[in-house]
Amino acid sequence: MSIFSLIFVCIAGFVAAFVDSIAGGGGLISVPAYLLIGLPPTMVNGTNKFSATSASLTSSIKFIKSKKADYRVLKFALPFTVIGAIIGVNTALSIPESFLKTIITVLIIFIGFYTYFSKSLGIKENFKGYTVLNIIFSCILALFIGFYDGFFGPGTGTFLTFGLITIFGYDFTRASGTARVMNFTSNIVSLILYAVNSRIMYTYGIPVAIFAIIGANLGTRFALKNGSKFIKPIFIIIALATAIKMIVEIF
């Protein structure tokens, strides 16, 4: 491990956590960074989960303290997030991820453009209450995105944020806060399973996690201070950047 490689991934971890705490998509930055320094692909997901979990815990705590995480949704959705993440990690340990990339790319492109052209989406709170139907939809979202996070990861926060806005009519701030807690849940479950299977390189994971915590702290403060109008453009940029990255990898 060279000092230059360590500095590079620590900076990437800081930026990834800052962005991820606002709009998701931090894996778009951190995963390629680990690959660029030559970390074995079999270790990338686990090592990235180590730092990502630290960051998502930091931002989750801040959103919870600011009352921007919806407890009534989380108490139903989190168990499904756990189940999805367990299935996702076990799948990732046994089969390649390539077949999912095309579907994910199309979905993220759709989300990015739909959010851009829908000027009012996520800017104002349009929450109209809880129903059996929207709670069921949130559990289905939690199951599938938990699976995706355990299996692959980049874009998880983007999917969760968009899904929560669509299902409940949240603004971006409330959706981001609820998504952070769900994302932390899938991260911690995935992290435990990767650790059990010895897929974490702690010599990189620990120092990157420290920088990720700092980045998440600053990113969450920015999001809470500036609100939905600040989050939305970053959300669109991250969604489309994730799609471009995946298109490049596919072709």
pLDDT of residue 189: 94
Residue 193 has pLDDT above 80, yes or no: yes
Average pLDDT of span 218-236: 83
Mean pLDDT of 191-207: 93
Residue 101 confidence (pLDDT) above 70: no
pLDDT over threshold 60, residue 100: no
Q: How confident is the model at residue 200 (pLDDT cuts 50, 70, 90)?
A: very high
Q: What is the rounded average pLDDT for all residues in the chain?
A: 86
Of 7-21, 88-102, 178-192, 196-210, the range with the lowest mean pLDDT is 88-102
pLDDT tens for 152-191 read: 777 788 889 999 999 999 988 899 999 999 999 999 999 9
DSSP state string for the chain: --HHHHHHHHHHHHHHHHHHHHHS-THHHHHHHHHHTT--HHHHHHHHHHHHHHHHHHHHHHHHHTT-S-HHHHHHHHHHHHHHHHHHHHHHTTS-SHHHHHHHHHHHHHHHHHHHH-TTTTTS-------HHHHHHHHHHHHHHHHHHHHT-TTHHHHHHHHHHHHH---HHHHHHHHHHHHHHHHHHHHHHHHHTT---HHHHHHHHHHHHHHHHHHHHHHHHH-HHHHHHHHHHHHHHHHHHHHHHH-
Query: Which residues form the domain of 195?
Result: 3-250
Give pLDDT, residue 236: 79
Q: What is the pLDDT of residue 70?
A: 94
Counted domains in the chain:
1
60, pLDDT greater than 90 = yes
Q: Express as a percent the part of the chain with pLDDT over 70.
A: 90
